[in-house]
Amino acid sequence: MNDRQLRRIRTGYVYLGHLTFLTMLVFSLVWMFPRVCYMDSAFQVFDLINSGHFTINDGRRSMVVSELLPLLFLKLHLPLSGIIAAYSVSFVLIGYGCYIAVQHLLKDDYTALAMVIPFLCMNHTFLHGISETFQLVFAAALLYALLAYRRRSSSKVAAVCHAAALLVVAAFCAFIHPVAIFFLAFVWLYVWVDEGFRFRWETVFALAAFVLVEALKLLLPAQGGRDATFLIPLPELLSKLPDFWHFGSLKFFKDHIFSLYYMPLLLFVWTSVWYIRRKMVWKSVFYIGFNLGFLFITFWIYFAGDGPIAMERSFLPMALFTALPFVREVIPSWKPFGQEHVVVLLMALLVVNYIRMGNGAERASERLQKMDELLVEARQEGVRKLFVSKEDAESIGVDYSWGTGIESMLYVTANRGRENCSNMFVYDDVSLLQSPYLLEVDRMAFVPWWVFLHRDGLNLEYFPLPDEPFYFLQKEGNRHRFVRAE
């Protein structure tokens, strides 16, 4: 392969990568409301606006990075829609920053290309940018590129900069979520096996940095879901094994093989056969064992199954685990003609998945629009604080969410203006509302575990919710009545 062919192939990879991330940035702006006005994301940005500073949940201090831009917009007193847009694009910008570092600073074309493939395994995950695995896919790829990087300079300054970058990326991964241990194990073992089991200082340093940060986290308060308590006890897990073929997680995976998981399976089979045919024993053992082990653990831990967002992100790491060796080892062995067609094929597959993402985002947008329509009707009756039962909400087209109290305020206020700030709370258990606070006019309905929030807790520049009583929605056929809470 001559230099001209190499340059042409590299240019195609670069264009594909930038086009992919720029498309995701555009999507993040077009569908910023369904991305942000939903449960965890809504809770996070709502808390940031009202507190006026960085907010850290469950000890996940990596959140500081995704909050930098929206917090800056908040300090500049920009409109609420601008803050929501900034929060929506922040997660894509994190991935894009990792991509730029790999592609243009480390000059690692193939690892950069591998960062594009996980987008083929995303649909509902696009609407949950705060997802830990979404961020780890790109941060782990950057960590791998740093571990595999060969410095052209032997100066001490270059070595210190390399070590500092490894430390920062390893620490960032550690603070995202405990699932980072799978990503670190994969990239560390892959480099180690690829280099003939030699312990270079980079691999030892990165592992030590990660272990040190994990140890230090134990000394930090408010770890919450970051420790092992989110896992099901081992005896209970073991008792589920005989029913493996009926796991909800396995059913989800099989149901989505031809929409989300065809690419990881194809790459897994292709790379495994490629290793075996070349008698690369240790790579075959590592690659096949790690991927099958991760898949089994995912099936086992999430045996009960979950919603599309939770299940998608559980299997998403496989996209990187299968793509990285394939792109770095199998593709370079092809002739130029084959490599050039990789770009065309990936672009076509990405377009198909973009359509799927857009359809999912439109359905999520419809939920918010139905919420808005109901609150417009309520405001015409002088009602800005509304309780709706789960059954009535879903019959209207507003799927139940524990976050509607804050989702409604974010969406309606950003979409309709400050003067229309409204608060709607969907309840699945009316006993949640058996509280004297129900009659207080200076409260808002918040989230199920803290049902009411005092008006003093609101940033009135963005959420000028008036002191008014709560009302219950009562459906009478196709008509609605609003009954004051008493």
- Lowest-pLDDT range of 163-172, 217-226, 272-281, 381-390: 217-226
Band the pLDDT of 110: cuts 50, 70, 90.
very high
Q: Give the residue, 133 or 27, on which the prediction is more confident.
A: 27
Q: Give the residue, 102 or 476, on which the prediction is more confident.
A: 102
Q: What are the tens digits of pLDDT across the range 371-391?
A: 999 999 999 998 999 999 999
Rounded to an integer, the average pLDDT of 100-125 is 91
Q: Estimate the share of the chain in helix, then strand, then coil, as percent rounded to the nearest 5.
A: 70, 5, 25
What is the spatial distance between Cα 364 and Cα 129, in angstroms, rounded to a whole number? 14
> 55-61 — which CB contacts under 8 Å span 24+ positions?
56/222, 57/224, 58/222, 58/223, 58/224, 58/225, 58/226, 59/175, 59/217, 59/220, 59/221, 59/222, 59/223, 59/224, 59/226, 60/132, 60/175, 60/176, 60/177, 60/226, 61/175
Band the pLDDT of 226: cuts 50, 70, 90.
very low
Q: What are the tens digits of pLDDT across the range 60-71?
A: 777 888 899 999
CB of 261 closer than 8 Å to CB of 121: yes
Q: Residue 96 contacts by C-beta under 8 Å, 6 or more apart in sequence?
A: 21, 24, 25
User: Does the pLDDT value for residue 224 go beyond 70?
Assistant: no
What is the spatial distance between Cα 20 and Cα 86, in angstroms, rounded to a whole number? 19
Could you identify the residue written with the tokens 């991305």? 35
Helical (H) or strand (E) element with 375: helix 336-380
User: Does the pLDDT value for residue 1 go beyond 60?
Assistant: no
What is the spatial distance between Cα 206 and Cα 213, in angstroms, rounded to a whole number? 11
Band the pLDDT of 148: cuts 50, 70, 90.
confident
What is the spatial distance between Cα 267 and Cα 322, in angstroms, rounded to a whole number? 6
Could you identify the residue written with the tokens 């898949």? 295
Most confident of 72-86, 147-161, 163-177, 197-211: 72-86
Output the pLDDT for position 167.
87
What is the spatial distance between Cα 385 and Cα 330, in angstroms, rounded to a whole number? 59
Residues 28, 29, 33, 39, CA torsion sign = positive
Rounded to an integer, the average pLDDT of 110-135 is 88
From the list 230, 222, 214, the residue with the least C-alpha distance to 176 is 214
Tell me what the pLDDT averaged over the chain comes to: 87
Output the pLDDT for position 267.
94
What is the spatial distance between Cα 96 and Cα 40, in angstroms, rounded to a whole number? 22
Residue 101 is classified by DSSP as: I
Share of the chain above pLDDT 90, in %: 49
Helical (H) or strand (E) element with 480: strand 479-484
> Between the CA of residue 342 and those of 5, 10, 273, 465, what are the distances in Å?
14, 12, 19, 54
Rounded to an integer, the average pLDDT of 461-473 is 91
From the list 317, 39, 380, the residue with the least C-alpha distance to 178 is 317
Q: What are the tens digits of pLDDT across the range 358-371?
A: 998 999 999 999 99
Band the pLDDT of 225: cuts 50, 70, 90.
very low
Rounded to an integer, the average pLDDT of 292-298 is 92
What is the spatial distance between Cα 468 and Cα 415, in angstroms, rounded to a whole number? 21
Rounded to an integer, the average pLDDT of 112-124 is 91
User: Does the pLDDT value for residue 325 go beyond 50?
Assistant: yes
Output the pLDDT for position 230.
52
User: Does the pLDDT value for residue 223 go beyond 50?
Assistant: no
CB of 268 closer than 8 Å to CB of 315: no
User: Does the pLDDT value for residue 203 go beyond 70?
Assistant: yes
User: Does the pLDDT value for residue 147 go beyond 70?
Assistant: yes
Share of the chain above pLDDT 70, in %: 95
Q: What are the tens digits of pLDDT across the range 279-293?
A: 999 999 999 999 999
Q: Give the residue, 214 or 195, on which the prediction is more confident.
A: 195
Band the pLDDT of 206: cuts 50, 70, 90.
confident
